[in-house]
Chain A
Amino acid sequence: MNTPTPIAEAIQKLSAARPPEGAKAPSGGSAAHAVASVGATLAPWQQYICHACGYIYDEADGDPDSGLAPGTRFADIPDDWACPLCGVTKADFAPYTPPDLTALQAQAACTPLVAARQTPGVVIVGAGRAGWQLAETLRALDAELPITLVTACAGDVYDKPLLSVAVARQLATQKLVRETGAAAAQRLNVRLLAHTHAIRICADTQQLRTTRGTLRYDRLVLAHGAQPALPPSLPAALCWRVNHLGAYLQLRTALGDTPKDVLIVGAGLVGSELANDLALGGHRITLLDVQTEPLARWTAEQAGAQVLQAWQDLPVRFVGGVAVASVEKLQGRYRVTTECGQRFAADQVIAATGLQTPSRLAQGAGLAWQNGIAVAPDTLRTSDPHIHALGDCITINGQASRYIEPIARQARTIAADICGCAPVPYENKPALVRVKTTSLPLTLH
């Protein structure tokens, strides 16, 4: 330990001069006055509080600024003494006992909390199909319910499936937005927080922390979807992912109006649909997959053989059974090298290597997690009774089902639960998948 500072020493001396706790006080002020020198060493110091301002006179400390030396008994203070803080007189002081914190806490716990400034209502995270669908369904059931929608993007309403057929259907990119986020928010009387990132759920206080402040909620609904799962060999700065309108529009701008060499990694549903659509737009497509044929998940239905047949007259080259080892940018173009040593040159690279649910929000709140946000199959509640989830971010019995069809039914289930209507149990059934390879549309099970 260090040598105490002079001030600390002074305090220690002062404290040492105090009588031990619990020593008996003399009875009667005047008697104490008469034997001040003896009493000061025997009776515990008392404290007195000013009724006007809360100043506490401690006999041990006195009031040196007003000429009362430390150790001056309250009874010995002249009647013309004034409170050093507010100026009232000695008569306005009363004996004071420092509070017992435990008792205070117990007492405070019995008093009601003040009302919140406003009912927080429902907060929805995500303004994709799931988020907007839920807002619509809730609004249809309850015209007054406060609804806040938090989204990292602009919140514009669009149909994601159209991103797979926009070129073939010659849809102008500006036509893809069905309704701006601001217009939809106004129509539905929803408070839209656009370009706002949800950072953390404080489940115990029912608050959502965001990059534009903290929102309270009565009910929280997670509809933030999934994000592309990129293997380390596909750096984010070099590969496009088409999982929302914003990225898709940037990709279309990068492709421009003239035919380009486009390399797509992953020949699942999204990769195959994009390959089909961009090829119809005149781009030269190289489609890679670790499997030996496209749409390998539906191999029993010979989906791969059928699309390859359909692509015969399109500029689509499928290379199966290869894994990407690296992507490099060389003089404005990209070089993709496979683990078996094949090299491909491309103007743009697109990764369609599957989706995963971002975990920080759910796991930070301690929500049950099973490859995604685990929800109850019938109510779509998470493990927190105030939080529901729907769409691409959820799993039921560990299974994700990232399709459009279930979303409207999920929204009806959650909205009924939130609004206290008759329950609408969710029915979890296998999705019917329509492959929008416009050269040969397929329906798969």
Chain B
Amino acid sequence: MNAADLPREVTSLPPLSGDALLAAVRAVAQGPLQQQVEAIDRQGHYPAAVLRQLAALGAMSAHLDAPAGPGSYALAIQAMAEVSRVCGATGFMMWCQAVCGLYLQQSGNPALMGEVLADHAGGVGLGGTALSNPMKSYAQIESLLLKATPVAGGYLVNGTLPWVSNLGPDHYFGAIAAVVEGDAPAGKEVMFLLRCDAPGVELRECPSFSAMEGTGTYAVRVKDLFIGADEIMADPAKPTIARIRAAFVMLQCGMAVGITQGAIDSMWAVEPQLGHVNQFLEDRPATLQAELDALTARVMKMAETPFDPSTEFFIDVLDARAHGAELCLRAAQSALMHQGARGYLMSSEVQRRVRESHFVAIVTPAIKHLRKEMARLSTEELPA
């Protein structure tokens, strides 16, 4: 049977004013997306039409402030969860699109906040984020891969990013480069919109991915790319990163919540036939559902204050994200145990979800990065 046939009670995300949006997102997820999910996973099909359809519904811009009213991070996360419940890869691309919109809106740059942002929110433009490397750089895990040399009217950017997702020939993404004067670091970074069709930008195919083959992920090689005032998102970048880091991480919780819910759905799906043996397993669906509900409630609470600047709040967000990844791993693994051989078929959503859960655990910030960052932020600061 199809997990999508299970009744709504399986999820327990609290009702919000965006019920109509969520219903529409669910219809797309369980309709057209469900039909393509195997092609996305196995053949690397990039579901552009579904993404545009979801964007047009407002699913990837629910968190952005609009003339109609302030954005709702809770709604954006719930929408991402509905999609991730069916297809983790598409849920991830929703996150890419959502944070790219966040960068555009937070840039304060009129050249990026008008038509560019409107097109992006509506799905006319699609884009991603290359902040994995900068986020690890700020957490003192690795150094910046792009370098920007000041020139008249802007910067010349050089370097190679190993993989950036939700890309295509006419897509774009938010990126950060270390500013250099000659060979020496200038002690600051610049954040900008990098258009894939700009001169000096080359997309290169990546090796095959375990569960993210359909996510439009490319290596991006940048040679003497000129970045002018119209592309600048933040200069210097650090204050903007500090402001949006909690929102950036928090939005990812939608992937974990959705994939976990999908795994729980798969456990109930085999309960009539296999319940008599599955009762001997750890991590039964009701137990996982209770843990997921508690985590979801925690995330919904955080979503009320996505821009709380305190360190304590950020640690809380990092831990919720880590909890999501850990729960996702356990649920996907347990769903495979529950389904047994049928879940081990390559055509089974259950084994696909195991691979998706691995992605949630390793994508930046990975569980290990989250823990290291929480430890760093928890350590008492003393005079040098």
Q: Which residues does A use to contact B, with CB under 8 Å? A: 1-2, 4-5, 7-8, 11, 47, 49, 53-56, 85, 96, 98-99, 101-102, 104-105, 107-109, 111-114, 152, 195-197, 199-200, 202, 204-205, 209, 211-212, 214, 227, 236-241, 247, 250, 254, 348-349, 360, 364
Asked if A2 contacts B53 (CB within 8 A), the reply is yes
Alpha-carbon distance between A51 and B20 when the two chains are bound, in angstroms: 40
Alpha-carbon distance between A250 and B380 when the two chains are bound, in angstroms: 13
B381 contacts the other chain (Cβ, under 8 Å)? yes
Report the 10 A-B pairs with minimum CB-CB distance, sorted nearest first: A236-B381, A197-B378, A211-B375, A54-B342, A111-B279, A211-B371, A8-B32, A7-B35, A5-B32, A99-B272
B31 contacts the other chain (Cβ, under 8 Å)? yes
Please name all residues of chain B whose beta carbon is closer than 8 Å to the beta carbon of A199 when the two chains form the complex: 315, 319, 374, 378
What are 26 A-B contacts defined by CB distance under 8 Å? A4-B31, A7-B31, A11-B35, A47-B1, A54-B273, A101-B7, A101-B268, A104-B271, A108-B271, A108-B275, A108-B284, A108-B285, A196-B375, A197-B375, A197-B378, A199-B315, A200-B316, A200-B323, A209-B322, A211-B375, A211-B378, A212-B371, A214-B326, A237-B383, A240-B383, A250-B382
Asked if B383 contacts A197 (CB within 8 A), the reply is no
Alpha-carbon distance between A294 and B69 when the two chains are bound, in angstroms: 56
What is the minimal beta-carbon distance from B320 to any residue of chain A, in angstroms? 9
Number of interface residues of B (CB under 8 A): 59
Please name all residues of chain A whose beta carbon is closer than 8 Å to the beta carbon of B315 when the two chains form the complex: 199, 360
What is the minimal beta-carbon distance from A105 to any residue of chain B, in angstroms? 6
Alpha-carbon distance between A104 and B267 when the two chains are bound, in angstroms: 11
B36 contacts the other chain (Cβ, under 8 Å)? yes
- A2, A85, A348: the one within 8 Å of B56 (CB): A2
Please name all residues of chain B whose beta carbon is closer than 8 Å to the beta carbon of A56 when the two chains form the complex: 1
Encoded as 1 (CB less than 8 Å from any A CB) or 0, chain B from 268 to 302 comes to 11111111000111101111001100100000000
Alpha-carbon distance between A202 and B320 when the two chains are bound, in angstroms: 11
Alpha-carbon distance between A214 and B370 when the two chains are bound, in angstroms: 13
Alpha-carbon distance between A49 and B50 when the two chains are bound, in angstroms: 31
Interface residues of B in 304-334 (CB under 8 A from A): 312, 315-316, 319, 322-323, 326
Alpha-carbon distance between A55 and B382 when the two chains are bound, in angstroms: 62
What is the minimal beta-carbon distance from A84 to any residue of chain B, in angstroms? 10
Asked if B32 contacts A49 (CB within 8 A), the reply is no
Q: Which secondary structure dominates chain B's binding surface?
A: helix
Q: Add 18 more A-B contacts to A47-B1, A204-B294 (CB < 8 A).
A: A2-B53, A2-B56, A4-B31, A5-B50, A11-B31, A54-B273, A85-B342, A99-B268, A99-B271, A99-B272, A104-B272, A108-B275, A112-B279, A197-B379, A202-B294, A237-B381, A254-B383, A360-B316
What is the minimal beta-carbon distance from B352 to any residue of chain A, in angstroms? 16
Asked if A85 contacts B50 (CB within 8 A), the reply is no
What is the minimal beta-carbon distance from B138 to any residue of chain A, in angstroms? 18
What is the minimal beta-carbon distance from A127 to any residue of chain B, in angstroms? 15
Asked if B273 contacts A49 (CB within 8 A), the reply is yes
What is the minimal beta-carbon distance from A233 to any residue of chain B, in angstroms? 15
B183 contacts the other chain (Cβ, under 8 Å)? no
Please name all residues of chain A whose beta carbon is closer than 8 Å to the beta carbon of B281 when the two chains form the complex: 114
Please name all residues of chain A whose beta carbon is closer than 8 Å to the beta carbon of B279 when the two chains form the complex: 108, 111-112
Please name all residues of chain B whose beta carbon is closer than 8 Å to the beta carbon of A98 when the two chains form the complex: 1, 5
Alpha-carbon distance between A302 and B188 when the two chains are bound, in angstroms: 56
Asked if A114 contacts B272 (CB within 8 A), the reply is no
Alpha-carbon distance between A1 and B54 when the two chains are bound, in angstroms: 10
Write the chain A residue with the least CB distance to B123.
Answer: A2
What is the minimal beta-carbon distance from A13 to any residue of chain B, in angstroms? 13
Asked if B273 contacts A209 (CB within 8 A), the reply is no
Encoded as 1 (CB less than 8 Å from any A CB) or 0, chain B from 6 to 46 comes to 11011000000000000010000001100110000000000
Asked if B57 contacts A197 (CB within 8 A), the reply is no
B206 contacts the other chain (Cβ, under 8 Å)? no
Please name all residues of chain B whose beta carbon is closer than 8 Å to the beta carbon of A47 when the two chains form the complex: 1
Alpha-carbon distance between A364 and B317 when the two chains are bound, in angstroms: 12
Encoded as 1 (CB less than 8 Å from any A CB) or 0, chain B from 53 to 84 comes to 10011000000000000000000000000000
Asked if B374 contacts A197 (CB within 8 A), the reply is yes
Please name all residues of chain B whose beta carbon is closer than 8 Å to the beta carbon of A202 when the two chains form the complex: 291, 294
B341 contacts the other chain (Cβ, under 8 Å)? yes
Please name all residues of chain A whose beta carbon is closer than 8 Å to the beta carbon of B379 when the two chains form the complex: 152, 197
Alpha-carbon distance between A250 and B272 when the two chains are bound, in angstroms: 63
Write the chain B residue with the least CB distance to A204.
Answer: B294
Asked if A4 contacts B32 (CB within 8 A), the reply is yes
What is the minimal beta-carbon distance from B341 to any residue of chain A, in angstroms? 6
